[in-house]
Amino acid sequence: MTLLSSWSFAHACERAHPDYGDYVQPWEFCDDDLMEQKLPRFDAFPADKVDAFKPTLPKQYDGPNAENNAAWMEAIQYAFKSGKSMFAGHYLFVEGGSCGGGCHRAIIVDLQNGKVYEPDEIGLVLATVNSLPGTMCKTLDIDCHRALSFRANSKLVLVIGQLGEEAKRRGLYYFQWDDNKLKPILKIDKLLNEKRQKRVK
């Protein structure tokens, strides 16, 4: 059984964080604290081997928001043609759906049968990730400009930001794609400065 570990860092960062307001700024994690943790690695969660198959895309998308269905179909086509969105062996990790700046949504398509999965964990992620420290990106083994990180040959997904609209769900999240679900592996709570802690309570 995969368990979710959750903790807050016990000590404050040596450098003071500026207050960016209520919006999520995930780079406020401490690089040193992350380096002290045993973080999951993408290569430790290899995708299952699959036989050769002919990719199948969904003929239509019937999401909960009908106004975004066409945008999702366009995002699926773009992700497939780009060749950069393969995930966990035979899936397509699709981001988009007319979400807006600082807002990230994703769905997962099984290319073996065209079935679409809509995990709640990536249904809405609020994050601004264009200023992550390079050292942090290196530690996490991710692209500095992505809130959602995945690999074609791995079942691991890393999410940096706020899941949904609750401020208490800010953090760094690791999930494993298993049985067509995102199962939590690890959560690292986001460090909040004193002023923001008072605001969130």
Q: Which of 47, 46, 54 is nearest to 89 (CA)?
A: 47
Output the pLDDT for position 33: 55
Write out pLDDT tens, residues 126-179: 887 655 667 777 778 887 778 899 999 999 999 988 888 887 788 889 999 999
Residues 113, 121: Cα–Cα separation, whole Å: 23
The reported pTM is 0.78
Output the pLDDT for position 166: 80
Lowest mean pLDDT among 78-87, 106-115, 132-141: 132-141
- The more confident residue out of 121 and 193 is 121
Say if residues 46 and 154 touch (Cβ distance below 8 Å): yes
Which helix (H) or strand (E) covers residue 183, if one does?
strand 181-189
Tokens coding 41: 């690695």
**Whether pLDDT at 91 is above 50:** yes
Output the pLDDT for position 137: 76
Output the pLDDT for position 41: 93
Output the pLDDT for position 25: 52
Output the pLDDT for position 64: 77
Write out pLDDT tens, residues 15-70: 444 444 444 454 455 555 566 668 899 999 999 998 899 999 999 988 777 788 89
Q: How confident is the model at residue 115 (pLDDT cuts 50, 70, 90)?
A: very high
Output the pLDDT for position 110: 97
Q: How confident is the model at residue 190 (pLDDT cuts 50, 70, 90)?
A: low
| DSSP state, residue 79 | H
Say if residues 176 and 2 touch (Cβ distance below 8 Å): yes
